[in-house]
Structure 1
């Protein structure tokens, strides 16, 4: 905006007042102009070149790279000598004389004065005491209005943080259901005399209308996004998480989450916004994602900062030739695709169950227990008589449900048997179907096949639960994931070795239900289940090239790496991330492997903190870059799932009164409330945005008296 070429193509006089003020704020553009002038002195040829020191000598001087000439910034804006405003000056030999002569020019001095006074009231007015008093009164009114608006912003923030509906069904003065926002405003007025006086006497701006609420929400969303964008521009690497779902209003929604390391070396995942999608095709989803990315990373040089993208395992997302990840990678070449590892775990268990019919039947049986009690309060009442715990409610969408059911039936199998026997004893109080099902469940609890798989999966599921919880954490990295999955595989291996001892746990009355069933067959099936889980875990958790770097910083391998350096992992890492210096990284890692104090780190995050706390960022610069890459790479899409759960809660609470323009703002206030609390001037920035939206009858902008 303040460059010579821009001002020549679009004259300063044709700019809007706000644009003129912005040009004044930016000041003269000072590029390194390539001006050369050949000359001879006493028969010796030499070349003069322009030095940027001239900018320090003459603050009004500016230059044009395209024209390769110098200009006067104030005269360029308001008009003056042609040489300094149109053609430009290129005579370096006489530049000192030309600048002195130009500085003495009347038009130049007037232009400087005019530029300095731009945006200020004239001198005569500044000296007028009446004007000063009016400015003082104006600023006092602004103080009051900004105070009231700040309180209204606090009320909106409260509603957003707790996902409460702002508006009620009837917002009249004597309404009994004015909504949470009006209720909060009334409560604040009861303890704040300034707010109470404002609500009683306000004629121009009251601040409780739907329009004001929407404008405040828009401003708060804009301010929060600006903070997130500022952090994204300051961080070294960024990863994106995206997913899509259908909300309760049957609209397809896409969510975008950024993952990065902030200025305090914390790994953060920031919600950026929901988008409406016309369909769930790869092209539509990829277009929605890249539109948001382009707003944050408009320059090609910034696109290299995007080093990872993660989605669930749907083919439309992970497709190698036409999936979303492929389309994003074409624009952001360093954005390597990572399949969500929590989703991978679900697929591993599903594979183990679906391949073995007896295991599949077992999980249908345990679901039947939960369904039996969930359909009748009378049945549940009998269970409460004999047990202090209930079975989980049926839900086949999450494997955590199966984990809880297996554990509950294993722990309370005797209580369940007693409960079914009581139902049979009280057969006159229950329907015939209930009694018949209770008899069937008693037989099931005596079957060796059912008990065998119950004990088997009771040994397996705790390890699944531990790994699932580890993979759902927000602050995990690829080093942590690799160690956790290796531990999981070892634990499943130990369970496999102990399957021969499961028969000893059976009650004496346990019998086989089928002719062909025997312990040899069950032991073979148990080992097969464990083998499938281990094989699938090794395949699905196998790290691709861009995750090989995790092996370089896995602390339990440091001693081995010290004896034999992992060159293959290093080559794969540098190939995936060409911004790393291979030779220096190798040298730094060799030192890390040799030092015993580094071997106790639990993951990449703890190692990064160790370098930072001991001021080793510069000494281990390449290792720091690798650590940041590994930490920034998301191993789960847990945050996008949290966003969707928030989306559905907001839509459920507000479906009758909410328009789409409120959705992103309310979701942002809910999910990023900690970030908003950390912004010290959040209310002030929101008020400034609110004041700049349009000309308002109430005053929110201060005036300067001098």
Structure 2
């Protein structure tokens, strides 16, 4: 009996208590009420963004979920806690659950079936250590519910379950650790969204670079009214494409890819891919040439700019390869920096057939200049060519300033420009133009620069076209109340209203008509030795046949139109008398006699100026550099010595080209069947040559076309530098300036860059927290 009693007590101890039906009867008349909390989101305070590989040592993936009590109205993995807002039933003690607990403890979920609450993280991810009351059984005792929940909220098992739930949620987005470590794994949608965002950023950066406008602003805070072009354009795009804004808002604050450092990295990647494009073109070219020059930027830094010239698919290409800062201006430093710019391209130095610079001694010196040092550094086939445009500028500038009469003429033009440039006078000048030419846009007078002959050409052209308006404006200010203004206007008016001034003005206007087309053609990237020879020959012919009678006739028409009667300004200063022995002589330099008292004497001076120009042309273009001009001339079908082997000897030896006689004969016959009028330049001939049939002839023509005749490409690069690095952007680093300039100069490449290649380069630069 005692034994049976003891056994009964033991069984009773382990026997599960029966659930009182009354305590858990749910009223069938549930009434839905307005919810207190409609949705709750658990924020995940991660220190890194989703692209960081997440690893939790305490997370056991084999036991990530707990045994879940079978209750139909509780949440599942990935769902929010079930938090209904109903009229909750009361238990025997008259107590019931309230919705206000949802706000205090977001993990609570309520079961209508059991009239009990559970902890969602512990129920789903608590494992064997979870507190049974909140994970499997459910809490239905509402006494001191707040204390019980607070105690559970701070328990170790609950916090571990919450962390496990967060990790599980992140794994659903980016995969497990095993998948992240698998190189074949990619979350295509997530990566695609990131890349789309980065492509938008790249579009804005490329746009700003092409337009030479700054990216950053002085104040880029959210309260700023002008955050800079980059952020303002991004906001503008967001107004018309909601996906842009959504992507930015969805990214963590430290991974939005909008910071100045990210901009610099993206610029580096853009410039790198652009240079890779240039490299791919020049690598397949049979030869190339180097162009270089120096410039000082807005921060007083001396920069060396360089470009490459080569032939790609039958077209001449001149591509910028970058800028580099110079600490010294000696030939050694310049040549070292130039080689440093060329190094990333990994080009064969022996394929370099030319180097084009200006005529400064540090560049052109045959012993210690840059050209000599480059040959010593392995570029031994790189023939130095002095820029043809520079040489022509030197010819015209030197001859124009040699005579005091000519110099005085340009001084008057400059004084007139300065007078008209004052605000009040300029306004009157524009009004006069609008009266005389109501349907034509008003012209501004140009100011000449001695280093740019083209600026003098523009100055003379504008002066001739608006000469009547200039006279009217000066006449108005000749009666001005201000004595200084009136005196200056009358003085200029007296100098302009002379037949001598008009004659010189018309003379230079016609001279520039002859030389301008030559100057502009020399500045083109397609300029070759043959085209320069043709243009120079045409210019020489025009100068030899210069028609002074037309100049005099035109001056007489203008003099009658503007009622100009005096040949010269009355001069009270005693004129120096020219010795009799010099009166009929012609010299290449002035002897001090600068005054011409009539048309005949003035014509003598102007004819002498033409002869001086011809002499300068012979001096600066007559010297044949390494037989290049002679070879180029005999390679044109119109030449009487077409492909004369003796004429080609110097060039053939320089570049080790041995053209067989039979190949020359067959090629002559081949060209004879072509229309000679369509073969005016070396490029025209090169286009019809079959490389496989005439290999040596093809190489010869490629070399002649590749040899540069002008370094104006680098001059145009400097123009971009001045537009980009202004006074307001003078603190820009040389590296950033270089990248912006490349995108600005080579716009045609920048527009076609593959952004996927740019993103791959950006991705490989360093470890990114942004999954790409």
TM-score range, shorter chain: 0.7 to 0.9
1:579 aligns with 2:629: no
Could you list the per-position Cα deviations for residues 103-136 of structure 1 after superposition, in whole angstroms to 9, with x for gaps in the alignment?
xxxxxxxxxxxxxxxxxxxxxxxxx999599976
Q: Is the 8 A contact 1:547 1:573 kept in 2?
A: no
Aligned to 2:760: 688
Q: Is the 8 A contact 1:167 1:179 kept in 2?
A: yes
Aligned-pair distance for 1:646?
Answer: 0.8
The whole-number CA distance in structure 1 between the counterparts of 2:657 and 2:752 is: 33
Q: Is the 8 A contact 2:288 2:354 kept in 1?
A: yes
Q: TM-score, normalised by structure 1?
A: 0.74
Aligned-pair distance for 1:305?
Answer: 0.9
Aligned to 2:476: 422
Assess, with a 3 A threshold, how the Cα gap between structure 1 residues 555 and 444 changes in structure 2: closer, same or farther.
Answer: farther
Indicate which of 686, 691, 697 corresponds to 1:617. 691
Assess, with a 3 A threshold, how the Cα gap between structure 1 residues 684 and 450 changes in structure 2: closer, same or farther.
Answer: same
The whole-number CA distance in structure 1 between the counterparts of 2:509 and 2:316 is: 35
Aligned to 1:65: none
Indicate which of 629, 635, 648 corresponds to 1:547. 629
| Number of residue pairs matched by the alignment | 556
The whole-number CA distance in structure 1 between the counterparts of 2:255 and 2:177 is: 29
Aligned to 1:511: 567
The whole-number CA distance in structure 1 between the counterparts of 2:227 and 2:293 is: 36
Structure 2 gaps of 5+ residues are 1-175, 576-594
Indicate which of 531, 535, 551 corresponds to 2:611. 531
For residues 462-611 of structure 1, the aligned pairs below 5 Å read: 462-495=513-546, 498=549, 501=552, 504-505=556-557, 506-507=559-560, 509-513=565-569, 517-542=597-622, 543-544=624-625, 545-557=627-639, 560-561=640-641, 566-581=644-659, 583=661, 586-591=664-669, 594-611=672-689
Aligned to 1:188: 237
Indicate which of 339, 347, 350 corresponds to 2:397. 350
The whole-number CA distance in structure 2 between the counterparts of 1:656 and 1:487 is: 45
Aligned to 2:318: 269
Q: Is the 8 A contact 1:370 1:393 kept in 2?
A: yes
Aligned-pair distance for 1:488?
Answer: 0.9
Aligned-pair distance for 1:654?
Answer: 5.9
Q: TM-score, normalised by structure 2?
A: 0.68
Aligned-pair distance for 1:598?
Answer: 3.6
Assess, with a 3 A threshold, how the Cα gap between structure 1 residues 293 and 130 changes in structure 2: closer, same or farther.
Answer: closer
Q: Is the 8 A contact 1:311 1:637 kept in 2?
A: yes
Assess, with a 3 A threshold, how the Cα gap between structure 1 residues 654 and 156 changes in structure 2: closer, same or farther.
Answer: farther
Aligned-pair distance for 1:504?
Answer: 4.8
The whole-number CA distance in structure 1 between the counterparts of 2:432 and 2:691 is: 63
The whole-number CA distance in structure 2 between the counterparts of 1:535 and 1:585 is: 40
The whole-number CA distance in structure 2 between the counterparts of 1:477 and 1:573 is: 16
Aligned to 1:640: 714
For residues 162-181 of structure 1, the aligned pairs below 5 Å read: 162-181=211-230
Aligned to 1:327: 373
Assess, with a 3 A threshold, how the Cα gap between structure 1 residues 355 and 137 changes in structure 2: closer, same or farther.
Answer: closer
Aligned-pair distance for 1:175?
Answer: 2.1
More moved, 187-196 vs 235-244: 187-196
3-state SS, counterpart of residue 678 of structure 2: coil
The whole-number CA distance in structure 2 between the counterparts of 1:390 and 1:343 is: 28
3-state SS, counterpart of residue 561 of structure 1: coil
3-state SS, counterpart of residue 241 of structure 1: strand
Assess, with a 3 A threshold, how the Cα gap between structure 1 residues 376 and 393 changes in structure 2: closer, same or farther.
Answer: farther
3-state SS, counterpart of residue 667 of structure 1: helix
Q: Is the 8 A contact 2:299 2:730 kept in 1?
A: no
Aligned-pair distance for 1:156?
Answer: 1.2
3-state SS, counterpart of residue 258 of structure 2: coil
The whole-number CA distance in structure 1 between the counterparts of 2:187 and 2:671 is: 67
Aligned to 2:168: none
Could you list the per-position Cα deviations for residues 622-677 of structure 1 after superposition, in whole angstroms to 9, with x for gaps in the alignment?
23222221221221111101111111211117626633331111111111121133
3-state SS, counterpart of residue 525 of structure 2: coil
Indicate which of 415, 418, 435 corresponds to 2:486. 435
More helix by share: 1
Could you list the per-position Cα deviations for residues 405-434 of structure 1 after superposition, in whole angstroms to 9, with x for gaps in the alignment?
22233333333223322222x322xx2122
Q: Is the 8 A contact 2:290 2:307 kept in 1?
A: yes
Assess, with a 3 A threshold, how the Cα gap between structure 1 residues 407 and 138 changes in structure 2: closer, same or farther.
Answer: closer
Q: Cα RMSD over matched residues?
A: 2.6
Structure 1 gaps of 5+ residues are 1-127, 701-706
3-state SS, counterpart of residue 403 of structure 1: helix
For residues 48-67 of structure 1, the aligned pairs below 5 Å read: none
Could you list the per-position Cα deviations for residues 549-588 of structure 1 after superposition, in whole angstroms to 9, with x for gaps in the alignment?
220233432xx236xx644421222133223535356335
Assess, with a 3 A threshold, how the Cα gap between structure 1 residues 258 and 580 changes in structure 2: closer, same or farther.
Answer: farther
The whole-number CA distance in structure 2 between the counterparts of 1:254 and 1:632 is: 22
Larger Rg, first or second structure (1 or 2):
2
